[in-house]
Chains A and B, each alone.
Chain A
Amino acid sequence: MIDAWVYIEHDSGEIEDVSLEIVGRLNEIKASLPLRITGFSFGRDPGEIPRKAISQGVEHFIFLRNDLFSFYDTQSYVNGIEGIVRERRPDIILLGATYQGRDLAGRLAARLKTGLAANAITLNIDEKGLLYTGVPGYGGRFIAEIVNMKARPQISTVRQGIFRKLPQDNSRSGEVENIEVKFGDFSPRLRVVERVRKDVKDITKSERVVIIGNGAGNNLKPIEDFARLIGADIGVTRPVADRGLAPRDIQVGSTGVSLNSKLVIIFGSSGSNHFVSGIERCKNVISIDVDRNSNIFNYSDYCVVADMFTILPYLNRRFGGQ
Chain B
Amino acid sequence: MKNIIVCVKVVPKTEDVSFDPVTKTLDRSKAENQINEADKNAIEYALVLKEKYGGNVILLSMGPMFFEPFLKIGIAMGADDAILLSDRAFAGADSYPTALTLASAIKKIGDFDLILCGEESSDAGLGQVPSQVAEFLDLPQALFVSSVEIEGNKIKARRSVKGGYEIVELPLPSVISIELGINQPRFPDFKRKRWADKEFKIKVWNMKDLGLNENIVGLRGSYTFVNRFIETEPPKRLRRYIEGSPEEQAEKLYEVIKEIIE
Q: Do A and B bind each other?
A: yes
In this complex, how many residues of chain B approach chain A with their Cβ under 8 Å: the count is: 78
A200 in the interface (beta carbon within 8 A): yes
B53 in the interface (beta carbon within 8 A): no
Tell me, in angstroms, the Cα distance from A106 to B170 when the chains sit together: 19
Known: A74-B131, A280-B235. A230 touches B26 (CB 8 A): no
- For residue A255, which residues in chain B have a CB less than 8 angstroms away from its CB? 120, 125, 180
Whether B160 and A106, one on each chain, are in contact in the complex, defined by CB atoms closer than 8 angstroms, is: no
- For residue B136, which residues in chain A have a CB less than 8 angstroms away from its CB? 110
Which A residue sits closest to B146, measured CB to CB?
A: A244
Partner of B232, one of A118, A143, A288: A143
Tell me, in angstroms, the Cα distance from A137 to B17 when the chains sit together: 10
Nearest-Cβ distance from residue B95 to partner chain A, whole angstroms: 7
Whether B163 and A199, one on each chain, are in contact in the complex, defined by CB atoms closer than 8 angstroms, is: yes
Partner of B165, one of A196, A262, A315: A196
Tell me, in angstroms, the Cα distance from A136 to B129 when the chains sit together: 17
B22 in the interface (beta carbon within 8 A): no
Known: A192-B168, A318-B251. A306 touches B246 (CB 8 A): yes
- For residue B191, which residues in chain A have a CB less than 8 angstroms away from its CB? none
- For residue B182, which residues in chain A have a CB less than 8 angstroms away from its CB? 242
In this complex, how many residues of chain A approach chain B with their Cβ under 8 Å: the count is: 100
Stretch in B82-90, B192-200, B236-244 with 4+ CB within 8 Å of A: B236-244
Known: A74-B134, A138-B14, A249-B163. A315 touches B254 (CB 8 A): yes
Whether A118 and B126, one on each chain, are in contact in the complex, defined by CB atoms closer than 8 angstroms, is: yes
Which A residue sits closest to B141, measured CB to CB?
A: A74
Stretch in A42-50, A167-175, A269-277 with 4+ CB within 8 Å of B: A269-277
Which A residue sits closest to B225, measured CB to CB?
A: A147
Whether A208 and B261, one on each chain, are in contact in the complex, defined by CB atoms closer than 8 angstroms, is: yes
Tell me, in angstroms, the Cα distance from A242 to B223 when the chains sit together: 34
Which B residue sits closest to A104, measured CB to CB?
A: B131
* CB-contacts of A101-150 with B (<8 A): 102-107, 109-111, 113-119, 132, 134-150
Whether B14 and A297, one on each chain, are in contact in the complex, defined by CB atoms closer than 8 angstroms, is: no
Provide the main secondary structure of the chain A interface. Answer: mixed
Tell me, in angstroms, the Cα distance from A119 to B33 when the chains sit together: 24
Nearest-Cβ distance from residue A88 to partner chain B, whole angstroms: 20
Whether A311 and B246, one on each chain, are in contact in the complex, defined by CB atoms closer than 8 angstroms, is: yes
Tell me, in angstroms, the Cα distance from A245 to B22 when the chains sit together: 44
Whether A307 and B169, one on each chain, are in contact in the complex, defined by CB atoms closer than 8 angstroms, is: no
A183 in the interface (beta carbon within 8 A): no
- For residue A231, which residues in chain B have a CB less than 8 angstroms away from its CB? 261
Known: A195-B166, A314-B250. A142 touches B229 (CB 8 A): yes
Whether A311 and B250, one on each chain, are in contact in the complex, defined by CB atoms closer than 8 angstroms, is: yes
Tell me, in angstroms, the Cα distance from A109 to B131 when the chains sit together: 10
Nearest-Cβ distance from residue B84 to partner chain A, whole angstroms: 23
B48 in the interface (beta carbon within 8 A): no
Whether B230 and A109, one on each chain, are in contact in the complex, defined by CB atoms closer than 8 angstroms, is: no
Whether B234 and A314, one on each chain, are in contact in the complex, defined by CB atoms closer than 8 angstroms, is: no
Partner of A304, one of B229, B230, B232, B242: B242
Whether B143 and A102, one on each chain, are in contact in the complex, defined by CB atoms closer than 8 angstroms, is: yes
Tell me, in angstroms, the Cα distance from A265 to B260 when the chains sit together: 12
A221 in the interface (beta carbon within 8 A): no
- For residue A286, which residues in chain B have a CB less than 8 angstroms away from its CB? 253, 256-257
- For residue A149, which residues in chain B have a CB less than 8 angstroms away from its CB? 225
Nearest 8 CB-CB pairings of A with B? A115-B223, A106-B131, A314-B250, A106-B128, A242-B181, A197-B164, A115-B224, A110-B135
